[in-house]
């Protein structure tokens, strides 16, 4: 999910180290001797190893391949576990057992018990090998409702307290065990080097030494100390060191991007946490989505096998990340021998595991994956399972299983609260505003004040976190920052006022304003600048408003990274970096609010583990780089005891500050720019582009970074044999394009490589909830086949209809395609003004398109539509030549054409004897029927009745305004009356679409019907609504009548014919 970013140098150093070891990229030379030697501290007994080998030797090929697969829990049943011998399952962010929102510990345990029992079933003669379940518990058991949520790692880094880290790990392990789960995907050992990265908050520090200290502490907290009785005991869990390697070192802070760094930097900075983790006995390592100098980590044998397993002695298992193998060149989500051969032992294949098993079996049999490599992977998985004692008891019989009392326990919340107040960093404290006398009247303002989701950040209940303050109920037992302040103040006899916008009737003595970043995770948090609230500074306005009323202002800043906040610092008397404190907001009050006697309750202890930027674009900022000039150095942090005030009058008008005027918006320039992400999709699946390549499982839709002017500055999108597919630029943050829509253009470069059997359109989203606008390009594109790169300018007005509002767009560009083709695009921008003297793409006028006759020029219609029209003319003339006649003429779209297919038997029964003739054309809209009528479609005919139904494709293809479609229908009626003046017209209400009455397309059609009902005069035009025959009493459209909720089947046509019969009998008299 990606990125408007400037390319900031990462301080890259190209080091040529001559060695005999080479990566898959021939030009990249490596030196294994740069890497530290290590070994596992765990010495398994001879008996242990003999038991392992006995199990391995008895396993069939199918069992072995099943063991190396990890499936998402929503895709598996106990029967699947037994049948396919799956080795592991996971729950993605927000995925809960049985798709139950707010699933309780017992539901988790019962679900896992069922899977475990199936995995241990030997009734088919296969081995009993227990399944294990992995979960992302990155700041507590964050997927579990009611769990203790500790501060995210960036806050923990500010504590500089390894012992408290160890306690957090142990507490997390107990709460995870309450759900029966044995394995967590933590800790993250990234050493984040670019704060624009959306996962910066998952990093403890920019300092490799601190990450190394914390690696030991967290692994031991989660797993217990190796070679002691606490190691992997029932109150501990299997830990995962992730993401190997250099996930925090990518160019531009691009999530899942490319770390263009030397091997020396890879070793000294990014590997710093892994050796201590290995020495602490970490049992699993997760491969990174990212690349090292252009080579995907999931396919990097040198780093996964030669370095990690051989040089550093790791004897546990390497697990892939979420379909990360599918990003390896030549792989898809359901096939990737390259990743297995590189050293991935357990594939996190999520949804496509059945196809992956089938493909992997073939690849082992064909020798693409050696039996030795497969055995090594399975051996590592068995070793970890045996060390964890998974054979001993089913999940429900283990310690803490189903125990609600351990989840969010007072003991754990106390640990989290301590972590909160130790992580707070005081950046400024003028006039000694802090600590605050609790007997005062205190205004608590800002959108983060009473918003637990915001203070918790991403990976909290849901993957992207909880963005709505109204959903505090999702965090039972948690305390918002405001609630913590209120409790402390009420106890001392003071008064608190909660007002998000800062309004009040009683002037407060002091104001605490809580604001900051909204929740995000992974690539959705990637940014192009470190400026907080660029251009539209609503939080700054609130601070200034309070300051202007001579109210002392304390700013509490929630963020997952250091940010440029000079204006906000200037507008505050005190400024606290609170990071993402988690569920225990009271920890903030512990430090900000004094005791009842006015004395300090807790002094500030936290100091920065990341340097704080002086400029908005100062994203690579740590002591490792030459031009180190931060606003606050790593290690900075004021205390009450020191009495220091911090900076005053910081410069606000500096290079890189965003303008508040609407500007050109770059969406894709060499890569997706923040906050945009490239996706590919079809009707079944959507997949993000991470790195240089992505493909949907069937291989029919692919995208790859290719070269236009420089390396990988374009995207080549390929599709085949698909009804509909797409390449989209999307974001979780809505974009206001109101100003752009007036005079702007969508500008981009395009190269139509192949399109003879396909089509392409451009699409934008005007609002969420299905408001898409499409501009056709197929005919123009076919003229460009093979002509190389062309610059296209599409007026943004082409996408806008009168009723549209583009003030919250999350998909500003998409290619909508079908058939087969290959198209490359580059340099996608939204320009606020149309450039002078450039050719603009012509587009339909949405106000008049429905009444302007035109051919149906869709990719799927070009080959047959005009020939069908011509053939129908021939057929009609043939009837006349034989002395025949046409008494009933059916005109319409695919529903009318369907009388020749699904409705054929019914047609024969009811209409053949009535001399009926069908000129329904699939895909037709009103303008296409008009074109056919004006091109001889009814010439020479004199039917008694025309049965007309048209307009549903105006709705489906364009989401057209009902009045516009109705105008097109009115024009069709007028054209028919001109050409067939003696014919009666039976105008049918447009049939219902969508399954339920509240469906968007159903509602549009209903509005059209309300208008066209008035066209019936019961003289020449007779309006009939037979829609009720298709619907249940509740208005539901059954699949056994219209399987796709649009086209009738045999039953549907029979219902239609019976409903039409009395009307036709009357009109044919």
Q: How many degrees, rounded to 5, is the angle at CA 87 between CA 86 and CA 90?
A: 95
The residues that bridge with 818 in the sheet, in sequence order, are 759
Cβ burial of 928 (10 Å; 0-12, 13-18, 19+) is: buried
In order, the DSSP letters of 957-987 are HH---HHHHHHHHHHHHHHHHHH-TT-EEEE
In order, the DSSP letters of 899-948 are GGTTTHHHHHHHTGGGTEEEEE-TT--HHHHHHHHHTTTTTT---SEEEE
**What is residue 586's DSSP assignment?**
H
SS3 340: helix
From the list 72, 136, 447, 522, the catalytic residue is 522
**Contacts of residue 869, Cβ cutoff 8 Å, sequence gap at least 6:** 921, 932, 935, 937
- CB–CB of 881/800 below 8 Å? no
Torsion of CA 1022, 1027, 1029, 1031, to 10 degrees: -170
- CB–CB of 530/197 below 8 Å? no
Provide the edge-to-edge strand list for the sheet that holds 88-91: 183-184, 132-135, 88-91, 69-72, 347-350
Q: How far apart are CA 158 and CA 203, in angstroms?
A: 11
Q: How far apart are CA 493 and CA 598, in angstroms?
A: 12
Is 522 tagged catalytic?
yes
Other Cβ atoms within 10 Å of 599 Cβ, number: 9
The residues that bridge with 577 in the sheet, in sequence order, are 425, 557
At 393, give phi and psi (nearest 5°).
-145, 150
From the list 80, 195, 254, 321, the catalytic residue is 321
Give the chain's length.
1069
* Inter-CA distances, 757 with 550, 689, 722, 858, Å: 70, 25, 11, 11
Q: What is the SS3 assignment for 1041-1056?
A: CCCCCCCCCHHHHHHH
- CB–CB of 154/579 below 8 Å? yes
* Inter-CA distances, 591 with 484, 575, 601, 796, Å: 11, 13, 6, 52
* Inter-CA distances, 281 with 222, 320, 532, Å: 11, 19, 40
Is 900 tagged catalytic?
no
Give the residue carrying structure tokens 């089938």. Answer: 358
What does DSSP say about strands 88-91 and 69-72: parallel, antiparallel, or unpaired? parallel
Structure tokens at 683: 């009707």
Q: How far apart are CA 750 and CA 785, in angstroms?
A: 11
The residues that bridge with 751 in the sheet, in sequence order, are 789, 824
- The catalytic residue positions are 321, 522
């Amino acid at each position: 999910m990606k990125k408007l970013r400037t390319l900031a140098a990462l301080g890259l150093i190209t080091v040529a180290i001559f060695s005999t070891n080479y990566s898959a990229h021939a030009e990249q030379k490596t030196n294994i001797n740069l890497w530290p030697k290590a070994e596992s501290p765990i010495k398994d007994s001879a008996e242990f190893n003999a038991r392992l080998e006995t199990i391995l030797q008895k396993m069939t090929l199918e069992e072995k391949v099943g063991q190396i697969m990890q499936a998402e829990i929503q895709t598996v049943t106990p029967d699947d576990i037994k049948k396919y011998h799956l080795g592991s399952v996971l729950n993605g962010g927000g995925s809960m057992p049985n798709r139950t929102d707010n699933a309780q510990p017992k539901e988790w345990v019962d679900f896992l018990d069922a899977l475990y029992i199936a995995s241990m079933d030997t009734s088919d003669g296969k081995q009993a090998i227990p399944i294990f379940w992995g979960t992302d518990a990155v700041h507590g058991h964050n997927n579990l409702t009611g769990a203790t949520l500790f501060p995210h790692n960036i806050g923990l880094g500010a504590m500089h307290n390894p012992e408290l880290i160890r306690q957090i790990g142990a507490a997390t392990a107990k709460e995870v065990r309450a759900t029966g789960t044995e394995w967590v995907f933590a800790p993250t050992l990234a050493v984040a080097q670019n704060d624009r990265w959306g996962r910066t908050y998952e990093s403890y520090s920019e300092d490799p030494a601190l990450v190394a200290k914390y690696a030991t502490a967290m692994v031991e907290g989660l797993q217990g100390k190796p070679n002691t009785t606490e190691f992997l005991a029932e109150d501990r869990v299997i830990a995962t060191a992730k993401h190997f390697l250099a996930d925090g070192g990518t160019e531009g802070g691009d999530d899942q991007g490319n770390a263009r760094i030397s091997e020396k930097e890879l070793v000294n900075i990014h590997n710093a946490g892994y050796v201590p983790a290995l020495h602490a006995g970490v049992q699993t390592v997760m491969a990174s989505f990212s690349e090292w100098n252009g080579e995907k980590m999931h396919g990097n044998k040198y780093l996964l096998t030669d370095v990690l397993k051989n040089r550093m002695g790791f004897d546990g298992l390497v697990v892939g990340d979420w379909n990360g193998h599918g990003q390896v060149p030549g792989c898809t989500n359901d096939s990737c021998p390259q990743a297995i051969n590189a050293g991935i032992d357990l594939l996190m294949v999520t949804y496509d595991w059945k196809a992956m098993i089938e493909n992997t079996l073939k690849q082992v049999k064909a020798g693409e994956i050696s039996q030795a490599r497969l055995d090594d992977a399975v051996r590592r998985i068995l070793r970890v399972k045996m060390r964890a004692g998974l054979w001993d008891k089913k999940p429900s019989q283990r310690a803490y299983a189903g125990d609600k009392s351990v989840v969010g326990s007072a003991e754990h919340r106390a640990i989290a609260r301590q972590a909160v107040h130790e992580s707070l960093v005081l950046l400024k404290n003028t006039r000694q505003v802090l600590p605050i006398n609790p007997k005062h009247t205190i205004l608590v303002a800002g959108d983060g004040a009473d918003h637990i989701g915001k203070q918790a950040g991403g990976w909290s209940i849901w993957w992207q976190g909880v963005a709505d303050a109204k959903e505090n109920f999702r965090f039972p037992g948690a305390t918002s920052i405001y609630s913590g302040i209120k409790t402390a103040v009420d106890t001392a006899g003071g008064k608190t006022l909660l007002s998000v916008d800062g309004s009040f009737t009683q002037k407060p003595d002091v104001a605490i304003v809580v604001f900051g970043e909204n929740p995000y995770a992974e690539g959705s948090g990637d940014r192009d600048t470190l400026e907080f609230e660029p251009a539209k500074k609503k939080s700054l306005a609130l601070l200034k408003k309070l300051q202007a009323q001579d109210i002392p202002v304390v700013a509490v800043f929630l963020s997952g990274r250091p940010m440029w906040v000079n204006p906000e610092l200037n507008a505050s008397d005190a400024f606290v970096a609170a990071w993402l404190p988690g569920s225990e907001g009271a920890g903030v009050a512990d430090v900000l609010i004094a005791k009842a006697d006015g004395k300090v309750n807790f002094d500030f202890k936290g100091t920065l583990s990341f340097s704080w930027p002086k400029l908005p674009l100062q994203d690579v900022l740590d002591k490792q780089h030459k031009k180190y000039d931060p606003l606050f150095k790593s290690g900075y942090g004021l205390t009450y005891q020191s009495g220091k005030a911090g900076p005053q009058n910081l410069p606000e008008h500096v290079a890189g500050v965003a303008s508040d005027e609407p500007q050109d918006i770059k969406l894709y320039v060499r890569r997706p720019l923040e906050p945009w992400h490239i996706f590919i999709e079809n009707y079944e699946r959507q997949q993000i582009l991470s790195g240089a390549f992505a493909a949907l499982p069937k291989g029919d839709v692919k995208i790859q970074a290719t070269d236009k002017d420089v390396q990988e500055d374009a995207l080549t999108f390929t599709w085949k044999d698909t009804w509909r597919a797409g390449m989209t630029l999307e974001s979780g943050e809505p974009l206001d394009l109101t100003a752009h829509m007036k005079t702007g253009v969508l500008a981009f470069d395009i190269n139509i490589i192949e399109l003879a059997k396909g089509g392409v359109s451009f699409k934008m989203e005007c609002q969420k909830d299905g408001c898409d606008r499409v501009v056709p390009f197929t005919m123009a594109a076919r003229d460009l086949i093979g002509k190389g790169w062309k610059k296209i300018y599409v007026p943004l007005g082409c996408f806008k209809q009168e009723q549209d509002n583009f003030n919250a767009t999350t998909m500003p560009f998409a290619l909508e395609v079908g058939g087969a083709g290959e198209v490359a695009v580059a340099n996608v921008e939204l320009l606020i003004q149309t450039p002078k003297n450039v050719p603009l793409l012509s587009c339909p006028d949405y106000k008049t398109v429905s009444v302007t006759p035109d051919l149906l020029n869709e990719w799927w219609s070009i080959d047959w539509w005009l020939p069908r029209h011509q053939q129908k003319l021939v057929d009609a003339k043939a009837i006349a030549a034989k002395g025949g006649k046409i008494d009933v003429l059916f005109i319409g779209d695919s529903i009318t054409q369907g009388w020749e297919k699904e409705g054929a038997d019914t047609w024969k029964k009811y209409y053949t004897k009535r001399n009926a003739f069908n000129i329904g054309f699939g895909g037709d809209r009103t303008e296409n029927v008009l074109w056919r009528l004006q091109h001889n479609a009814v010439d020479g005919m004199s039917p008694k009745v025309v049965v007309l139904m048209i307009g549903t494709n105006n709705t489906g293809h364009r989401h057209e305004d009902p009045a516009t479609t109705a105008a097109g229908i009115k024009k069709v009626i007028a054209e028919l009356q001109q050409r067939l003046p003696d014919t009666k017209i039976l105008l049918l209400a447009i049939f219902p679409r969508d399954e339920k009455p509240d469906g968007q397309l159903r509602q549009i059609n209903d509005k059209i019907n309300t208008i066209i009902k008035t066209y019936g005069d019961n003289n020449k035009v007779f309006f009939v609504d037979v829609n009720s025959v298709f619907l249940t009493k509740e208005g539901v459209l059954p699949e056994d009548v219209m399987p796709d909720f649009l086209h009738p089947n045999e039953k549907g046509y029979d219902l239609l014919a019976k409903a039409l019969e009395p009307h036709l009998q009357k009109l044919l008299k």
